[in-house]
Amino acid sequence: MNLNDARTLARDLDAKDPLASLRSHFDIPEGTFYFDGNSLGPLTFRSREVLHRTIEFEWRERLIRSWNEDWLAMPARVGNLIAPIIGAAQDTVICADNTSINLHKALMAAVALRKDRSEIVVDINNFPSDIYIAQSVARQHHMKLVAVPADEIIGAINTNTAVVTATHVDYRSAQILDVEGITKVTHSHGALMVWDLAHTAGAVPFEAAALDVDFAVGCGYKYLNGGPGAPAFIYVAPRLLEESDQPLQGWWAHAVPFEFEVGFRPAEGISRFLTGTANVLSMKSLEAALEVFDSISLGKLREKSMGLSTLFIDLFDAHLAAKGFTLESPRNPVSRGSHVALGFSDGKALVEAMSAEGIIADFRPPNLMRFGFAPLYNSHEDVVTLVERLSAY
Protein backbone atom coordinates (compact mmCIF):
# COMPACT_ATOMS: atom_id res chain seq x y z
CA MET A 1 0.00 0.00 0.00
CA ASN A 2 1.46 3.36 -0.96
CA LEU A 3 1.38 6.12 1.66
CA ASN A 4 -1.26 8.19 -0.12
CA ASP A 5 -3.64 5.24 -0.06
CA ALA A 6 -2.63 4.55 3.54
CA ARG A 7 -3.54 8.10 4.53
CA THR A 8 -6.94 7.78 2.87
CA LEU A 9 -7.55 4.52 4.72
CA ALA A 10 -6.36 6.06 8.00
CA ARG A 11 -8.74 9.01 7.68
CA ASP A 12 -11.61 6.62 7.07
CA LEU A 13 -10.67 4.58 10.15
CA ASP A 14 -10.40 7.73 12.25
CA ALA A 15 -13.80 8.93 11.07
CA LYS A 16 -15.34 5.67 12.30
CA ASP A 17 -13.30 5.51 15.52
CA PRO A 18 -15.62 5.54 18.58
CA LEU A 19 -12.72 6.77 20.73
CA ALA A 20 -11.62 9.60 18.45
CA SER A 21 -13.24 12.31 20.58
CA LEU A 22 -11.05 11.36 23.57
CA ARG A 23 -8.10 13.15 21.96
CA SER A 24 -9.82 16.43 22.89
CA HIS A 25 -9.09 15.67 26.55
CA PHE A 26 -5.34 16.05 25.95
CA ASP A 27 -3.38 19.27 25.53
CA ILE A 28 -0.97 18.06 22.86
CA PRO A 29 0.80 21.05 21.24
CA GLU A 30 -0.21 21.93 17.70
CA GLY A 31 2.09 20.25 15.21
CA THR A 32 3.33 17.64 17.68
CA PHE A 33 2.95 13.94 16.94
CA TYR A 34 3.37 12.09 20.22
CA PHE A 35 4.43 8.43 20.27
CA ASP A 36 5.98 8.25 23.73
CA GLY A 37 2.99 7.67 25.98
CA ASN A 38 4.67 4.42 27.00
CA SER A 39 7.20 6.64 28.84
CA LEU A 40 5.18 9.73 29.78
CA GLY A 41 1.56 10.42 29.00
CA PRO A 42 0.65 13.96 27.85
CA LEU A 43 -1.09 16.60 29.91
CA THR A 44 -4.86 16.42 30.18
CA PHE A 45 -6.93 19.58 30.34
CA ARG A 46 -8.64 18.13 33.38
CA SER A 47 -5.33 17.75 35.25
CA ARG A 48 -4.49 21.39 34.61
CA GLU A 49 -7.93 22.45 35.84
CA VAL A 50 -7.75 20.34 39.00
CA LEU A 51 -4.18 21.38 39.81
CA HIS A 52 -5.15 25.03 39.47
CA ARG A 53 -8.01 24.53 41.93
CA THR A 54 -5.81 22.56 44.31
CA ILE A 55 -3.20 25.31 44.37
CA GLU A 56 -5.51 28.30 44.43
CA PHE A 57 -8.27 26.98 46.70
CA GLU A 58 -7.32 23.81 48.55
CA TRP A 59 -3.77 24.91 49.34
CA ARG A 60 -3.96 28.73 49.28
CA GLU A 61 -7.35 29.19 50.95
CA ARG A 62 -8.11 26.05 52.90
CA LEU A 63 -4.50 25.39 53.88
CA ILE A 64 -4.05 22.53 56.32
CA ARG A 65 -7.82 22.03 56.54
CA SER A 66 -7.66 20.39 53.11
CA TRP A 67 -6.06 17.30 54.62
CA ASN A 68 -9.25 16.40 56.47
CA GLU A 69 -11.52 17.78 53.78
CA ASP A 70 -9.98 15.85 50.90
CA TRP A 71 -6.30 14.89 50.82
CA LEU A 72 -6.18 12.16 53.45
CA ALA A 73 -8.63 10.04 51.47
CA MET A 74 -6.80 10.40 48.16
CA PRO A 75 -4.59 7.26 48.15
CA ALA A 76 -7.57 4.96 48.64
CA ARG A 77 -9.80 6.99 46.34
CA VAL A 78 -7.28 6.97 43.49
CA GLY A 79 -6.54 3.31 44.13
CA ASN A 80 -10.20 2.54 43.61
CA LEU A 81 -10.14 4.42 40.29
CA ILE A 82 -7.22 2.29 39.14
CA ALA A 83 -8.73 -0.99 40.39
CA PRO A 84 -11.16 -1.57 37.48
CA ILE A 85 -8.43 -0.70 34.97
CA ILE A 86 -6.39 -3.69 36.21
CA GLY A 87 -9.34 -5.98 36.95
CA ALA A 88 -9.11 -5.68 40.73
CA ALA A 89 -11.81 -5.45 43.38
CA GLN A 90 -12.45 -2.21 45.19
CA ASP A 91 -10.25 -1.56 48.24
CA THR A 92 -7.48 -3.85 47.02
CA VAL A 93 -5.40 -1.15 45.26
CA ILE A 94 -3.72 1.82 46.93
CA CYS A 95 -1.95 4.74 45.27
CA ALA A 96 1.43 5.52 46.81
CA ASP A 97 5.15 6.09 46.32
CA ASN A 98 6.76 4.88 43.07
CA THR A 99 6.93 1.56 41.28
CA SER A 100 10.33 0.56 42.68
CA ILE A 101 9.28 1.20 46.27
CA ASN A 102 6.02 -0.67 45.78
CA LEU A 103 7.84 -3.59 44.18
CA HIS A 104 10.14 -3.69 47.19
CA LYS A 105 7.11 -3.77 49.49
CA ALA A 106 5.48 -6.55 47.48
CA LEU A 107 8.58 -8.73 47.26
CA MET A 108 9.41 -8.30 50.94
CA ALA A 109 5.82 -9.13 51.88
CA ALA A 110 5.85 -12.21 49.65
CA VAL A 111 9.18 -13.46 51.00
CA ALA A 112 7.91 -13.02 54.56
CA LEU A 113 4.94 -15.24 53.69
CA ARG A 114 7.26 -17.94 52.35
CA LYS A 115 10.05 -17.92 54.95
CA ASP A 116 10.93 -21.56 54.33
CA ARG A 117 11.86 -20.88 50.65
CA SER A 118 15.29 -19.92 49.32
CA GLU A 119 14.86 -18.54 45.76
CA ILE A 120 13.40 -15.58 43.90
CA VAL A 121 12.75 -16.02 40.18
CA VAL A 122 12.94 -12.93 37.97
CA ASP A 123 12.81 -12.22 34.24
CA ILE A 124 16.40 -11.39 33.26
CA ASN A 125 15.09 -8.94 30.64
CA ASN A 126 12.92 -7.11 33.13
CA PHE A 127 13.23 -3.36 33.55
CA PRO A 128 16.57 -2.84 35.35
CA SER A 129 15.02 -1.23 38.43
CA ASP A 130 12.90 -4.35 38.97
CA ILE A 131 16.01 -6.51 38.81
CA TYR A 132 17.89 -4.22 41.21
CA ILE A 133 15.03 -4.40 43.72
CA ALA A 134 14.86 -8.20 43.43
CA GLN A 135 18.64 -8.38 43.92
CA SER A 136 18.34 -6.25 47.05
CA VAL A 137 15.55 -8.39 48.53
CA ALA A 138 17.44 -11.59 47.76
CA ARG A 139 20.60 -10.22 49.34
CA GLN A 140 18.80 -9.08 52.50
CA HIS A 141 17.24 -12.52 52.95
CA HIS A 142 20.30 -14.54 51.85
CA MET A 143 18.29 -15.98 48.99
CA LYS A 144 19.32 -17.09 45.52
CA LEU A 145 18.18 -14.88 42.65
CA VAL A 146 17.28 -16.99 39.64
CA ALA A 147 17.31 -14.67 36.60
CA VAL A 148 16.10 -16.28 33.37
CA PRO A 149 14.51 -15.16 30.07
CA ALA A 150 10.73 -14.88 30.13
CA ASP A 151 10.19 -18.12 28.22
CA GLU A 152 12.22 -20.00 30.84
CA ILE A 153 10.43 -18.68 33.92
CA ILE A 154 8.01 -21.59 34.21
CA GLY A 155 10.84 -24.12 34.03
CA ALA A 156 12.79 -22.25 36.73
CA ILE A 157 10.02 -22.47 39.34
CA ASN A 158 10.31 -25.23 41.93
CA THR A 159 9.63 -25.98 45.59
CA ASN A 160 12.49 -23.68 46.62
CA THR A 161 10.83 -20.69 44.94
CA ALA A 162 9.39 -18.11 47.33
CA VAL A 163 8.27 -15.54 44.78
CA VAL A 164 8.30 -14.97 41.03
CA THR A 165 8.33 -11.46 39.56
CA ALA A 166 8.02 -10.32 35.96
CA THR A 167 6.59 -7.51 33.86
CA HIS A 168 3.36 -8.27 32.02
CA VAL A 169 4.34 -6.23 28.94
CA ASP A 170 8.07 -6.22 28.17
CA TYR A 171 9.39 -2.66 28.20
CA ARG A 172 11.61 -3.23 25.18
CA SER A 173 9.74 -5.49 22.78
CA ALA A 174 6.13 -5.09 24.05
CA GLN A 175 5.88 -8.90 24.28
CA ILE A 176 2.95 -9.85 26.51
CA LEU A 177 3.92 -12.59 28.92
CA ASP A 178 1.70 -15.58 29.69
CA VAL A 179 0.30 -14.20 32.94
CA GLU A 180 -2.19 -17.03 33.41
CA GLY A 181 0.30 -19.82 32.76
CA ILE A 182 3.11 -18.33 34.83
CA THR A 183 0.82 -17.50 37.74
CA LYS A 184 -0.72 -20.98 37.76
CA VAL A 185 2.65 -22.74 37.77
CA THR A 186 3.90 -20.37 40.47
CA HIS A 187 0.94 -21.29 42.67
CA SER A 188 1.23 -24.99 41.89
CA HIS A 189 4.66 -24.91 43.54
CA GLY A 190 3.37 -22.98 46.54
CA ALA A 191 5.10 -19.73 45.56
CA LEU A 192 3.69 -16.21 45.21
CA MET A 193 3.50 -14.05 42.07
CA VAL A 194 4.28 -10.32 41.69
CA TRP A 195 3.44 -8.66 38.36
CA ASP A 196 4.70 -5.28 37.18
CA LEU A 197 1.95 -3.54 35.17
CA ALA A 198 3.88 -0.41 34.20
CA HIS A 199 3.27 -0.94 30.46
CA THR A 200 -0.13 -2.54 30.98
CA ALA A 201 -2.38 -0.24 33.01
CA GLY A 202 -4.41 1.97 30.72
CA ALA A 203 -3.45 0.18 27.50
CA VAL A 204 -3.77 -3.60 27.89
CA PRO A 205 -6.62 -5.22 29.85
CA PHE A 206 -5.55 -7.16 32.91
CA GLU A 207 -7.64 -9.29 35.29
CA ALA A 208 -5.84 -9.29 38.62
CA ALA A 209 -8.72 -10.86 40.54
CA ALA A 210 -9.79 -13.41 37.92
CA LEU A 211 -6.19 -14.53 37.39
CA ASP A 212 -5.69 -14.93 41.15
CA VAL A 213 -2.62 -12.69 41.09
CA ASP A 214 -0.99 -12.23 44.50
CA PHE A 215 0.61 -8.80 44.11
CA ALA A 216 0.86 -6.25 41.32
CA VAL A 217 2.49 -2.85 40.99
CA GLY A 218 2.53 -0.17 38.34
CA CYS A 219 3.09 3.51 37.64
CA GLY A 220 0.74 6.42 37.03
CA TYR A 221 2.66 8.45 34.47
CA LYS A 222 2.61 6.27 31.34
CA TYR A 223 -0.74 5.24 29.84
CA LEU A 224 -2.59 6.59 32.91
CA ASN A 225 -1.31 10.09 32.03
CA GLY A 226 -0.85 11.27 35.61
CA GLY A 227 2.14 13.49 34.83
CA PRO A 228 5.91 13.35 35.41
CA GLY A 229 6.65 11.55 38.66
CA ALA A 230 2.99 10.67 39.19
CA PRO A 231 2.57 8.22 42.09
CA ALA A 232 2.40 4.50 41.53
CA PHE A 233 0.03 1.82 42.80
CA ILE A 234 0.13 -1.55 44.50
CA TYR A 235 -2.44 -4.34 44.43
CA VAL A 236 -2.66 -7.11 47.03
CA ALA A 237 -5.05 -10.06 46.73
CA PRO A 238 -7.75 -9.84 49.40
CA ARG A 239 -6.89 -13.33 50.69
CA LEU A 240 -3.38 -12.09 51.56
CA LEU A 241 -4.14 -8.70 53.07
CA GLU A 242 -4.60 -9.71 56.70
CA GLU A 243 -1.43 -11.77 56.85
CA SER A 244 0.76 -9.51 54.70
CA ASP A 245 3.36 -7.29 56.30
CA GLN A 246 5.47 -4.75 54.42
CA PRO A 247 8.79 -3.37 55.62
CA LEU A 248 8.28 0.39 55.19
CA GLN A 249 6.10 0.95 58.23
CA GLY A 250 5.46 4.65 57.83
CA TRP A 251 2.83 6.52 59.77
CA TRP A 252 0.25 6.47 56.98
CA ALA A 253 0.22 2.67 57.22
CA HIS A 254 -0.62 2.83 60.92
CA ALA A 255 -4.04 1.76 62.16
CA VAL A 256 -4.55 5.17 63.85
CA PRO A 257 -1.90 7.51 62.43
CA PHE A 258 -3.10 10.61 64.25
CA GLU A 259 -2.89 9.02 67.66
CA PHE A 260 0.90 9.12 67.26
CA GLU A 261 1.52 5.85 69.03
CA VAL A 262 5.14 4.82 69.51
CA GLY A 263 4.50 1.22 68.48
CA PHE A 264 3.41 0.30 64.97
CA ARG A 265 0.03 -1.34 64.37
CA PRO A 266 -0.79 -1.92 60.69
CA ALA A 267 -3.97 -0.48 59.26
CA GLU A 268 -6.63 -2.87 58.10
CA GLY A 269 -6.74 -3.79 54.44
CA ILE A 270 -4.73 -2.28 51.63
CA SER A 271 -3.90 0.88 53.59
CA ARG A 272 -1.18 -1.05 55.42
CA PHE A 273 0.82 -0.79 52.18
CA LEU A 274 1.06 2.98 52.46
CA THR A 275 4.22 4.54 53.85
CA GLY A 276 4.46 8.29 54.32
CA THR A 277 2.60 11.46 53.43
CA ALA A 278 0.97 11.51 50.00
CA ASN A 279 2.35 13.79 47.28
CA VAL A 280 -0.78 15.85 46.93
CA LEU A 281 -0.16 17.71 43.67
CA SER A 282 1.07 14.64 41.79
CA MET A 283 -1.78 12.51 43.07
CA LYS A 284 -4.33 15.20 42.23
CA SER A 285 -3.06 15.28 38.65
CA LEU A 286 -3.31 11.49 38.37
CA GLU A 287 -6.80 11.44 39.85
CA ALA A 288 -7.96 14.01 37.32
CA ALA A 289 -6.37 12.18 34.39
CA LEU A 290 -8.08 8.93 35.36
CA GLU A 291 -11.50 10.48 34.77
CA VAL A 292 -11.16 9.80 31.05
CA PHE A 293 -11.39 6.05 31.75
CA ASP A 294 -14.84 6.39 33.35
CA SER A 295 -16.70 6.49 30.05
CA ILE A 296 -14.81 3.98 27.93
CA SER A 297 -14.61 0.25 27.43
CA LEU A 298 -11.20 -1.27 28.05
CA GLY A 299 -12.04 -3.75 25.31
CA LYS A 300 -12.54 -0.92 22.80
CA LEU A 301 -9.33 0.67 24.04
CA ARG A 302 -7.43 -2.54 23.42
CA GLU A 303 -9.06 -3.03 20.02
CA LYS A 304 -7.89 0.40 18.87
CA SER A 305 -4.42 -0.15 20.33
CA MET A 306 -4.02 -3.33 18.30
CA GLY A 307 -5.37 -1.60 15.19
CA LEU A 308 -2.90 1.27 15.45
CA SER A 309 0.13 -0.94 15.99
CA THR A 310 -0.97 -3.38 13.27
CA LEU A 311 -1.29 -0.55 10.76
CA PHE A 312 2.21 0.56 11.71
CA ILE A 313 3.63 -2.94 11.19
CA ASP A 314 1.84 -3.31 7.84
CA LEU A 315 3.40 -0.03 6.71
CA PHE A 316 6.74 -1.10 8.15
CA ASP A 317 6.66 -4.14 5.85
CA ALA A 318 5.85 -2.00 2.84
CA HIS A 319 8.12 0.99 3.44
CA LEU A 320 10.70 0.45 6.18
CA ALA A 321 11.93 -3.15 6.17
CA ALA A 322 13.97 -2.63 3.00
CA LYS A 323 15.65 0.46 4.48
CA GLY A 324 17.46 -1.28 7.31
CA PHE A 325 14.77 -1.18 10.00
CA THR A 326 13.97 -4.43 11.80
CA LEU A 327 10.83 -5.36 13.70
CA GLU A 328 11.64 -6.20 17.33
CA SER A 329 8.07 -6.65 18.60
CA PRO A 330 5.68 -9.59 18.13
CA ARG A 331 3.73 -9.61 14.88
CA ASN A 332 0.70 -11.17 16.51
CA PRO A 333 -1.26 -8.24 18.02
CA VAL A 334 -2.63 -10.48 20.79
CA SER A 335 0.94 -10.98 22.00
CA ARG A 336 1.89 -7.31 21.69
CA GLY A 337 1.37 -4.42 24.09
CA SER A 338 0.68 -0.85 22.98
CA HIS A 339 4.12 0.04 21.64
CA VAL A 340 6.21 -1.26 18.77
CA ALA A 341 10.01 -1.47 18.79
CA LEU A 342 12.11 -1.14 15.66
CA GLY A 343 15.79 -1.89 15.47
CA PHE A 344 17.88 0.60 13.52
CA SER A 345 21.63 1.16 13.56
CA ASP A 346 21.25 4.94 13.57
CA GLY A 347 18.18 4.87 15.77
CA LYS A 348 19.37 7.30 18.46
CA ALA A 349 20.21 10.02 15.96
CA LEU A 350 16.93 9.51 14.12
CA VAL A 351 14.83 9.73 17.29
CA GLU A 352 16.62 12.96 18.21
CA ALA A 353 16.15 14.41 14.73
CA MET A 354 12.43 13.59 14.70
CA SER A 355 11.99 15.04 18.19
CA ALA A 356 13.38 18.35 16.97
CA GLU A 357 10.68 18.28 14.28
CA GLY A 358 7.87 17.53 16.73
CA ILE A 359 7.59 13.78 16.10
CA ILE A 360 8.36 12.35 19.51
CA ALA A 361 9.32 8.74 20.24
CA ASP A 362 12.10 7.25 22.37
CA PHE A 363 15.25 5.17 22.16
CA ARG A 364 16.61 2.28 24.20
CA PRO A 365 20.16 0.94 23.79
CA PRO A 366 21.63 -0.58 21.86
CA ASN A 367 19.51 0.19 18.79
CA LEU A 368 15.79 0.18 19.67
CA MET A 369 13.38 2.89 18.64
CA ARG A 370 10.12 2.60 20.59
CA PHE A 371 6.82 3.97 19.31
CA GLY A 372 3.91 4.08 21.72
CA PHE A 373 0.42 3.97 20.21
CA ALA A 374 -1.90 5.27 22.91
CA PRO A 375 -5.52 4.72 21.86
CA LEU A 376 -6.76 7.64 23.95
CA TYR A 377 -5.08 10.24 21.75
CA ASN A 378 -3.14 8.70 18.84
CA SER A 379 -4.93 8.44 15.50
CA HIS A 380 -4.48 6.19 12.50
CA GLU A 381 -3.39 9.20 10.47
CA ASP A 382 -0.68 9.86 13.07
CA VAL A 383 0.70 6.42 12.23
CA VAL A 384 0.94 7.27 8.52
CA THR A 385 2.73 10.54 9.32
CA LEU A 386 5.24 8.62 11.44
CA VAL A 387 5.99 6.10 8.69
CA GLU A 388 6.38 8.90 6.13
CA ARG A 389 9.01 10.53 8.33
CA LEU A 390 10.85 7.26 9.04
CA SER A 391 10.91 6.29 5.37
CA ALA A 392 12.44 9.64 4.45
CA TYR A 393 15.56 9.06 6.59
Confidence of residue 35 (pLDDT cuts 50, 70, 90): very high
Output b/e per residue, 189-220; b: 16+ Cβ within 10 A: eebbbbbbbbbbbbbbebebbebebbbbbbbb
What's 112's DSSP letter?
Answer: H
pLDDT at residue 170 tops 90 = yes
Q: Could you report the per-residue pLDDT of 279-304, keeping only the tens digit for each?
A: 999 999 999 999 999 989 999 999 99
Q: Could you report the per-residue pLDDT of 6-15, keeping only the tens digit for each?
A: 999 999 999 9
Give me the mean pLDDT over the 174-191 stretch: 98
Query: Of 86, 329, 77, which is closest to residue 198 (Cα–Cα)?
Result: 86
From the list 221, 293, 325, 344, the catalytic residue is 221
Q: Could you report the per-residue pLDDT of 367-393, keeping only the tens digit for each?
A: 999 999 999 999 999 999 999 999 999
Give me the mean pLDDT over the 76-103 stretch: 98
Give me the mean pLDDT over the 254-262 stretch: 97
pLDDT at residue 142 tops 90 = yes
Residue 295, pLDDT score: 85
Catalytic (active site) residue 172:
no
Residue 1, pLDDT score: 87
Q: Could you report the per-residue pLDDT of 36-45, keeping only the tens digit for each?
A: 999 999 999 9
Domains of the chain from N-terminus onward: 3-30+297-391 (3.90.1150.10), 50-294 (3.40.640.10)
Please tell me the pTM assigned to this model: 0.97
pLDDT at residue 214 tops 90 = yes
Residue 86, pLDDT score: 98
From the list 222, 284, 302, 304, the catalytic residue is 222
> What residues does 368 pair with on adjacent strands?
343, 364
From the list 34, 336, 370, 373, the catalytic residue is 370
Confidence of residue 185 (pLDDT cuts 50, 70, 90): very high
Catalytic (active site) residue 300:
no
Stated as kind and residue range, the H or E segment containing 371 is strand 368-372
Judged on CB neighbours under 10 Å (0-12, 13-18, 19+), 387 is: buried
Q: Could you report the per-residue pLDDT of 316-329, keeping only the tens digit for each?
A: 999 999 999 999 99
Show the beta-strand stretches assigned E in 13-75.
33-34
Catalytic (active site) residue 370:
yes
From the list 33, 127, 316, 371, the catalytic residue is 127
Stated as kind and residue range, the H or E segment containing 50 is helix 45-53
Percent of the chain having pLDDT more than 90?
99
Q: Could you report the per-residue pLDDT of 91-133, keeping only the tens digit for each?
A: 999 999 999 999 999 999 999 999 999 999 999 999 999 999 9
Q: Where are the alpha helices (DSSP H) in 176-222?
A: 179-188
Residue 93, pLDDT score: 98
Residue 125, pLDDT score: 94
pLDDT at residue 227 tops 90 = yes
Stated as kind and residue range, the H or E segment containing 232 is strand 232-236
pLDDT, the chain, mean: 97
Catalytic (active site) residue 196:
yes
Catalytic (active site) residue 16:
no
From the list 97, 123, 196, 382, the catalytic residue is 196
